[in-house]
């Protein structure tokens, strides 16, 4: 085993100052455009349907639209990961190319997860704990293989790994994260997939979003998961969704078959 002094270090050498790189301003790069001058392929407007109640609140067309950057926020244990994996599993079984990025679980933890929820066995998974020293290179290469949908658990884990590995700021890590997703949304990958992203993010005990306002404002949709104190009721709703004009909650519960959804909770006392 190498001593710490012999290990390869990243970032600036001790005692040096960060040098701000000035980018020359070139006004010739500024271009304006009208909507009528734009063109995108028709498949960009065909929703990916999982055939469950989430389709209805994901978009007005019913389903997850291509090139959508979504955040699902909720407290610990609210069901964010299970909800995202269940949706990816449904899409995968319909032939869509999906990827789940896990920054929190390892292979053993995920195997136990699959035992509790066998439906998700079909989902392709990348474990970031195996690539902490090359997180930027790993994600850029993997995303470039081309996917219909990528779910990331979680934004916070990816940004923290990036900051620690490349000795940079949270702002710089967030910018890289958002720019990489924008590149994939535009189809700059193998197969020219207009990738959609389901980004999982935690909130604090008082419900405060863990992350900067840029993460909230630079995404297309912001979903929230609420869980009752006794853990029996869970619901998801959107505070912002550029693809959908509906405003209501979908309730859900977990079973061995997967996730079961309902627009309204049944009155068990009736």
What burial class does residue 168 get, using C-beta atoms within 10 Å of its C-beta: 0-12 exposed, 13-18 middle, 19+ buried?
A: middle
Q: Give pLDDT, residue 4.
A: 41
Task: Tell me the pLDDT band of 24, cut-offs 50, 70 and 90.
Answer: confident
CA distance 266 to 62: 24
Instruction: Annotate 62-79 with DSSP letters as a single string.
Output: SSBPTT-EEEEEE-TTSS
CA-based nearest residue to 241, from 54, 47, 70: 70
Percent of the chain predicted with pLDDT > 70: 86
Report DSSP state, residue 111: H
CA distance 76 to 68: 25
Task: Tell me the pLDDT band of 233, cut-offs 50, 70 and 90.
Answer: confident
Residues in the chain: 270
How far, in whole angstroms, is CA 58 from its chain's centroid? 14
Both ends of the chain: CA-CA distance in Å?
Answer: 66
CA distance 181 to 69: 8
Span of 38-52, 109-123, 188-202, 252-266 with lowest mean pLDDT: 252-266
CA distance 221 to 68: 8
Contact 61, 74 (CB under 8 A): no
CA distance 32 to 64: 29
Query: Which residues have CB under 8 Å from 243's CB, separation 6+?
Result: 58, 59, 60, 61, 65, 68, 220, 221
118-158 residue pLDDT tens:
999 999 999 999 999 999 999 999 999 999 999 999 898 99
What is the number of H-type helices and E-type strands within the chain?
7, 9
89-101 residue pLDDT tens:
999 999 999 999 9
Q: Give pLDDT, residue 245.
A: 86
On the question of pLDDT at 15 being above 60, the answer is: no
Average pLDDT for 218-237: 86
Average pLDDT for 158-182: 93
């Amino acid at each position: 085993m190498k001593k710490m002094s012999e290990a390869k270090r990243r970032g600036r050498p001790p005692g040096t100052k960060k040098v701000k790189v000035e980018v020359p301003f070139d006004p010739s790069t500024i271009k304006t455009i009208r909507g009528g001058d734009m063109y995108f392929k028709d498949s960009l407007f065909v929703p990916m349907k999982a055939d469950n109640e989430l389709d209805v609140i994901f978009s007005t067309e019913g389903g997850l639209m291509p090139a959508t950057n979504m955040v699902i926020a909720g407290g610990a244990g609210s069901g964010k990961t299970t909800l995202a994996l269940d949706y990816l599993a449904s899409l995968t079984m319909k032939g869509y190319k999906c990827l789940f990025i896990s920054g929190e679980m390892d292979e053993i933890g995920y195997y136990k997860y699959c035992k509790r929820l066998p439906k998700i066995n079909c989902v392709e998974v990348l474990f970031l704990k195996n690539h902490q020293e090359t997180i930027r290179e790993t994600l850029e290469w993997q995303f470039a293989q081309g996917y219909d949908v990528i779910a990331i658990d979680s934004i916070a884990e990816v940004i923290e790994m990036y900051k620690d590995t490349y000795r940079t700021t949270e702002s710089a890590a967030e910018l890289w994260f958002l720019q990489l997703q924008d590149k994939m949304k535009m189809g700059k990958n193998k197969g020219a997939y207009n990738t959609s992203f389901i980004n999982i993010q935690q909130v604090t005990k008082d419900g405060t979003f863990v992350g900067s306002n840029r993460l909230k404002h630079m995404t297309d949709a912001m979903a929230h998961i609420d869980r009752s104190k006794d853990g029996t009721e869970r619901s998801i709703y959107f505070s912002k969704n550029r693809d959908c004009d509906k405003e209501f909650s979908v309730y859900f519960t977990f079973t061995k078959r997967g996730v079961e959804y309902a627009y309204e909770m049944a009155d068990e006392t009736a």
